[in-house]
Structures are given as C-alpha cells and as structure tokens.
Amino acid sequence: MILANLLDARRRDRWLEGLAPVGWAFVVAGGLAMGGGSALHLGMLKTGGGGAIVLGLIMVLLFSESFSPPLKRLLGGLHGVTEVTRAFGDVLSYLRWACITRLNTRPARTPVNASHIPSRARTHVWRY
C-alpha cells in the first residue's frame, strides 16, 4: 500500500496533487512502525510511527483538494481523512490474502487463522 500510494503521487501532474497520496503512505508506514514498536516494546519506534500518522493525516487534510478555494479545500480534506476506513479495509484484505496463501487454508477458516496471527507473531519474535 505504501508503494501504491507513492506511485500514485508520482503519476500526478502537479506536485501539490501528489502530497495527499504521500500522506497516505505516511499513515500506513506510521501504522506499521507503531505496530512494530508495540510488539517489540520500542517506545521510540512507536512514537515515530504516531508522528508519521499525524503528519500523513495533516497532508491528506491539506492537499486532497489542492487547487480549490479554502472552504472546498478543507471539506475535501475532511472527506479524504474519512477514507482512512478504506485504507484499513485494504490492509485487512491483504492480511486475509496472506492467511489464505501462507497457511494454505480455505476461506471459511481464514477468520479463525487471522485471529491467531498476533499470538503467533509474538511467539516468533520472542524466540529470537
């Protein structure tokens, strides 16, 4: 998702138009950093991830409608920020795909397997 957003930013004609997708890349990378910081008990990584999320959401808020009047720009930015649920859904879809392919299971068993992923990850992290 990070790469997709960065490529989306790259294809934009004007650099201001590309700042909203870069903001989404920051949000996803920040979430990944926060998750890793929480799992590994690294406060600095967790704090940096939170900062990346805030910075990314500010970029989405300010640059979703980059060439509009101020009020329309703010409303477009608020609409852009509400699309965080779509990004969350995309991440969950990728996790589901990973469960199906990695665990070689049927889709009916995917929710059960997906609920065990955090405990398996914690076990593997603490082994090393």
Helical H segments across 14-83, by residue range:
19-40, 43-63, 70-82
Question: HSE (CB half, 13 Å, CA atoms) of 13?
Answer: 2
Are 76 and 103 within one domain?
A: no
> What is the predicted pLDDT for the residue at 74?
77
> What is the predicted pLDDT for the residue at 127?
46
Read off the pTM. 0.66
Domain count, the chain: 2
> What is the predicted pLDDT for the residue at 33?
94
Q: Name residues of the chain where pLDDT drops below 50.
A: 126-128
Closest CA to 87 of 41, 26, 19, 18: 26
What is the maximum span of the chain, computed from C-alpha positions, in angstroms? Answer: 55
**pLDDT over 90, % of the chain:** 20
> What is the predicted pLDDT for the residue at 72?
78
Domain membership of residue 128 as a residue range = 84-128
Q: Round to whole Å and give the CA distance between 11 and 66.
A: 16
Are 12 and 55 within one domain?
A: yes
Are 21 and 1 within one domain?
A: yes
**pLDDT over 70, % of the chain:** 77
Are 74 and 125 within one domain?
A: no
Are 29 and 17 within one domain?
A: yes
Are 91 and 56 within one domain?
A: no
Q: What are phi and psi of 116, to 5 degrees?
A: -95, -5
